[in-house]
Structure 1
Amino acid sequence: MRKSLSLIVLIWMISFSAEAQQSSAEEDTRLHWDESSNLLDDEKALPVNAAQPTPFNAFHKKDQNEFVIAPIPFLNPSQGWGLALMAQYIFTLKDDDSPPSIVGGGAFYTEKHSYGGGLAYSGKLANDEWRVGLALGKATVFYDFYGVGYDQNKQDISIPLKQEVDFAGLRLMKQVTNKLFLGIELIGAEITTNIESENIPGVLAEEIVAKTDFIAPNLKAERDTRNDSFYPTEGSLFDLQAEFHSEELHDNSTYQTYKISWNQYLQMAPFSVFAYRLMARFAYGEVPFYSLSMFGQGGDLRGYETGKYRDKMMWAAQTEYRYRFTDRWGGVAFAGAGQLAPKVSDFDGAAFLGSGGLGVRFQIAEKNPVDFRFDTAYGDQKVSYYFSVGQAF
C-alpha cells in the first residue's frame, strides 16, 4: 500500500531500523509490513557449518537479545539528507523456539522539512506458530509529483506536494505448514494532500486527492526459508498480497492492488552471496496516485526518485552480489530493470528502465548483522546516492 509517497517508509525505517526494506522518505511509502524491511522480519540463527564458515560470529550466539539505539543519517533522491533517531529492542522469549521479536520506535527529519515518527511491535509467538504486528505513527512529508504514466513522467514536470498522514496497523499471521504463513493486515489511515504551489499544470492538479480516510484489509501469504532476515546467505522469501479499498470502508474510491515477489539468496563462497529479486504489482479500479506502482521504492529500482515513474502495472527484477571483507565491512554490486504500463497488455512495447551501481556496508549492531549501507546508483540518466540502514532486499 503506498499511502503517502515518502512517509511511511521512513517511519518503518525508524521503528524497525531498516525497511524496509525500506529507506527513503519516499522509497517504500507503504503502510504495511514489507519483505524488504529487514528488521520487521524474523531473525533466524544461522546453523554452524564447519565446512562452510561465515564471517558473522554473531550468527552462532544463542543469546541475541540486544538494544540498538542510534541516530541514523540517511540520503535518497526524493528527500535529500535526513536524520532518524531510533531505538529498538531485539529479543527472544524464554522457553520459546520462535525467532526474535522486535519492539521499537523513532522519529525523522529531512532536508525537505519532512518529519514524523512511529512506534511498532513485531512479535513471534508459540514457537513461531503466530506472528503479530502492531504499528502507529504520523508524519508530514513534502515531495514532488510528476503525474502518471511513462510519457508524462519523462517530461520531468512536477508540482510540490505536502502530505499529512496518521495511521495505525495490525497484522496477524498463522503458520499453516513448514515456513508458510497466511494472514491478514488491517491498515487504518487518514491522508491529507495539499499543493504547495500556485503555478500548477492542470493535467497534474486533476489527479490530486485532497483528503481521504479508510480501513483497508490486506490478505497475505508468505513463505520464508532464509537462514537470517538481516543478512541472509541462503534460502528464499516469497510474498503474495491482495489489498482491497472500498468506498464502503470510507475510502474515496474503490480499487484493489495485487503484489507478488520472490527473493532468492545463494551463498557462492564463505564470504560472498548472490541475491536476486523478482516482483510484480498490479492495480485495478479508480486508483489514487499515491497507491499506484512506482519505481525507486523498496529498492525497486535504486537510481530513481521514488514516485517519479508510476502507473497501474509494474514489474521489476534486480540482482546483487554481496561480499564481506571482515565481520563488519562489506561491499555490493547491483543491477536491475523493469517496466511500467497502464495495462498488462501494454508491457509489450513499453519503455525499459534500468539501473546499476556499487555499495558499501558496515555492521552497526554487536550481536545482529544490521548494516549501514551507502549505495551509488546510476538510473534515469543520472547518479543518485543512498545512505540508510538494512539491505535493499
Structure 2
Amino acid sequence: MNFGEGRWTLGALYGEAELRYDLPLELPLLGTVDFPLYETGAAGGVQLGYGFTDSLSVAFTLGYLDTDISIDSEFLSRLPEALRPDLNVELRRLTFDLKFDTRDDTFYPSGGIAASASLTHAAEVDSLFDRHIDIGDRDYIKTSASLSGYRAIGEDGVLAANASACAVGDDAPFFDQCGVGHSDSLRGFASLENLASHSLAAQVEYRGRLSPRWGYVAFVGGGAGGDSFSELSSDRGGAAAGLGLRFRLSRQFKLDYAAYWAMNDQGDHQLYLTLGQRF
C-alpha cells in the first residue's frame, strides 16, 4: 500500500510452509552425510518504507518465524510426539534496508543499476522435543549487500552483472547463514552445501530475445565462503556456468517464466524454474 504521494509504503506478509530437504554435514570418519529434514512453520512480517527520491529509499521490517525441524524418518514419526528429536526455533527479526535503484524497468531492466544494503538483528529461542526443553536464547547480526548493473547490447540484448556479499554472526541458525548458492542468486550450487558465516559471489549473464515471447540467457559466475572475509575459499564455493530459456508471460510488463540449467566446477548439475529475473 502506498500513501503520502507515493513516498510511503506499507506492506504485510504471512505464510505457512512444509519443506523436505537434505542438509549436508561433515562428520568425522564418515565424510559428508546428507540428513533428510522435515520442516514446518509459519512466518510473517510488516514493513514500512520511505522514498527520499525516485531512486533512493529506506525500509524497516519486523518479522517473526516459528518453525519445527525434525529428521524425516518414518520410524521416528511413529514415536510419541514428546519423544521425537525435533528442534523448534522462534525467530524475531528487525531489518533495516537501504536501496538505490536507477533501473529503467523493474521486471526486465536494460539500463541503470540497483544497489542494496541490509542490516538485521535477530533474536532466537530454541527448544527440543516439542518445546519441552528450552536450550537457550541467542541473538545475532546479519549484514548483506548487492550491486547489479545493466547495459543494452544492440536492439534485443542485455548484459547484466551482479556482485553480492554476506556476513552473519556465529549464533545464526543454519537456514539463516550466508553461503554460495544460498544467500545470493548464484546458480549451479545446492542451496545448503556451502553454508558459511561469510560469503562473496559475482556473476554476469547475457539476455537475448528469440521472438516477442521467447528469450534465452547464458551466464557464468563464482563465489567463495569462509569463517571471515579474510579466510574466504573456493573450497566452500566455486565457479559455475549455464544456459536458460524464457517465456514471456506478459508483454506489457516484460515478465518472464524461466528454466535454467547450470553446472559447477565439481560437475554438479542444477535445474531452476523461476518467475522473473535472478537479479
TM category, shorter: 0.7 to 0.9
Deviation for aligned residue 1:258: 0.2
Q: Do structure 1's residue 360 and structure 2's residue 241 form an aligned pair?
A: no
1:125 Cα deviation from its structure 2 partner: 3.7
Spell out the pairing of 1:224-373 with structure 2 (5 A cutoff): 224-246=101-123, 252-297=137-182, 300-347=185-232, 352-373=237-258
Q: Secondary structure at the match of 1:231?
A: coil
**Distance (Å, rounded) in 1 between the aligned partners of 2:179 and 2:34:** 15
Rounded to whole Å, the distance in 2 between the matches of 1:156 and 1:285 is 21
Find out whether 1:221 has 2:106 as its counterpart.
Answer: no
Give unmatched runs, 5+ long, in structure 1.
1-122, 200-207
1:14-53 → structure 2 map (5 Å cutoff): none
CA separation of 1:349/1:162 partners in 2, compared to 1, >3 Å: closer, same or farther? closer
TM-score (norm 2): 0.85
Q: Give the Cα–Cα distance (whole angstroms) in 2 for the partners of residues 332 and 127 of structure 1.
A: 38
> Aligned letter for 1:386?
Y
CA distance in 2, matches of 1:274, 1:124: 32
Change (3 A) 1:219 1:261: same
Aligned to 1:387: 273
Number of the residue aligned with 1:12: none
TM-score of the superposition, structure 1-length normalised? Answer: 0.61
RMSD, matched Cα? 2.7
The match for 2:9 is: 131
Cα deviation digits, residues 211-261 of structure 1 (max 9, x gap):
12132100110111111111111111111000101259x994111110000
Unpaired runs of 5+ in structure 2?
Answer: 77-84, 128-135
1:147 equivalent to 2:41? Answer no
The AA in structure 1 aligned to 2:13 is: A
Gap change, CA 1:299 and 1:288, over 3 Å in 2:
closer
> Is the Cα–Cα contact under 8 Å of residues 189 and 215 in structure 1 kept in the other structure?
yes
Residue pairs, 1:69-84, within 5 angstroms: none
Greater Cα offset, 320-329 or 296-305:
296-305
Aligned to 1:334, the other structure's residue is in SS state: strand
**Which residue of the partner structure matches residue 117 of structure 1?**
none
Contact 2:90 2:124 (C-alpha < 8 Å) held by counterparts: no
SS in 2 for 1:177: coil
Matched residue of 2:192: which SS? coil
1 CA distance for matches of 2:256 and 2:183? Answer: 16
Q: In structure 2, what is the Cα distance between the partners aligned to 1:234 and 1:381? A: 34
Verify: 1:187 aligned to 2:60, yes or no.
Answer: no
> 2:248, 2:226 → 1: CA distance?
38
Corresponding residue for residue 81 of structure 2: none
Shift of 1:365: 2.1
Displacement after TM superposition at 1:178 (Å): 4.3
Partner of 1:171 in structure 2?
47
* TM-aligned CA deviation for residue 187 of structure 1: 0.6
Post-superposition offset of 1:299: 5.9
Distance 1:299-1:317 versus aligned 2 partners, 3 A rule: same
Shift of 1:133: 1.9
Larger Rg: 1 or 2? 2
Query: How far is 1:366 from its partner?
Result: 4.6
Corresponding residue for residue 158 of structure 1: 34
C-alpha distance in 1 between matches for 2:195 and 2:104: 34
The Cα shift of 1:156 comes to 3.9
Paired amino acid for 2:271: Y
Q: Give percent identity, aligned residues only.
A: 24
1:89: which partner in 2? none
Residues 50-129 of structure 1 correspond to what in structure 2 (within 5 A)? 123-129=1-7
- In the alignment, the residues of structure 2 paired with residue 274 and residue 338 of structure 1 have an alpha-carbon distance, to the nearest angstrom, of 20
Q: Given residue 176 of structure 1, which amino acid in structure 2 is its aligned partner?
A: F
- If asked which structure has higher relative contact order (CA below 8 Å, sep 6+), I would say 1
Q: How many residues align?
A: 260
